[in-house]
Structure 1
């Protein structure tokens, strides 16, 4: 697991930092794109529903992340 993914997990669950789903998604996306971290891809996939809800409530960043998570959901389903 990538250190960036570890930091994303901290933001996802509020471990040592304030919980921030958008920051977690950003870090998971960075780890997935830069190093192909499958754990980061799985975390993005796990966040999809929560990000979708935020997007439906008008959060533009969440909507952008939802669009990107689709790519990783399909990768994870084939692993």
Structure 2
């Protein structure tokens, strides 16, 4: 699961604004990757966040399969 996300933090809106804070080393690596792929830094950041969102969706989908301990 994602750190800082609680069970009661359900958002009912269709679109949610996401604020991302990344370490300086990740930012530098992202700049290099974007330069090599010939895309803008903004597009690279968007792609990275979309990948994180997909990972979170996978985690949330797997919650139904977990059975509580009796």
Query: TM-score surpassing 0.5?
Result: no
Q: Which has the larger radius of gyration?
A: 2
TM-score by length of 1: 0.29
TM-score by length of 2: 0.31
Larger RCO (alpha carbons 8 Å, 6+ apart) = 2
